[in-house]
Structure 1
């Protein structure tokens, strides 16, 4: 039976530890369907939308998301692990858990914290919220 795994990445070193964990998991159980997801925070200001077209804004989100996923995708490719990459725009924790529900994900893997400067002091707020909202097990890689 194939296990569907969602790895949430923001491009930070702590989030890439989730990839390292996934590679160890893959060595033990090779039948994995891996999805990498980066969630871009929407630019809320109406002023931004006055000067940037919807298409340009979507392209910006796509480029930033692909850049955040690049290192994780490359690590998996080098190890021979296939993955599908996704970029979404929205509130991070809600978008991650909604993505998991809609695609029948079996487990979510993510880093303990992201880009936050004080992330080493506490479990990241996005990670904490994903744990609270998720309908599936969440593995936090330290």
Structure 2
């Protein structure tokens, strides 16, 4: 049985990591970081620097995974890490389908006021499309 925890550098994602480590002590855990290169924010030259942009984001993902391993060390756990390039919500759902994931634990955006009841757009789409149960952590 496997649990997928999609992560980025947000507080809700770190809360999802903690929750998964505590709630699923006997399951294999996979941390997934999806690189979604938004080349529009880099201007026209981005088309020529696509590989460099993706490589830079892969390096950032490795740093993120190193930070998160501290959480699992305190729970005496090891995890598998994966980095893929694509649309975040679609990639998370496809990964869950293709890798035999039984459960997804995902962070939601921390919001206040009326928007607090709404999930982040990625979390919302994963909840709607996932073939397995999804736990959303704030």
TM-score normalised by the chain length of structure 1: 0.81
Distance 1:68 1:11 in 2: 7
Distance 1:57 1:20 in 2: 30
Q: Which among 95, 109, 114 is matched to residue 113 of structure 1?
A: 109
TM-score normalised by the chain length of structure 2: 0.83
Alignment of 1:83-98 (within 5 A): 83-98=79-94
What's the secondary structure of 1:135's corresponding residue? Answer: coil
Q: Does the CA-based 8 Å contact 1:61-1:89 persist in structure 2?
A: no
What does residue 10 of structure 1 align with? 8
Aligned residue pairs, count:
133
Distance 1:132 1:112 in 2: 14
Deviation at 1:53, TM superposition (A): 6.5
Matched, 1:137 2:133: yes
Deviation at 1:40, TM superposition (A): 1.2
Taking only aligned residues, the RMSD between alpha carbons, in angstroms, comes to: 2.2
Unaligned runs of 5+ in 1: none
Runs of 4+ in 1 over 3 A off after TM superposition: 43-46
Deviation at 1:42, TM superposition (A): 1.8
What does residue 34 of structure 2 align with? 39
Alignment of 1:65-80 (within 5 A): 65-80=61-76
Unaligned runs of 5+ in 2: none
Q: Does the CA-based 8 Å contact 2:35-2:54 persist in structure 1?
A: no
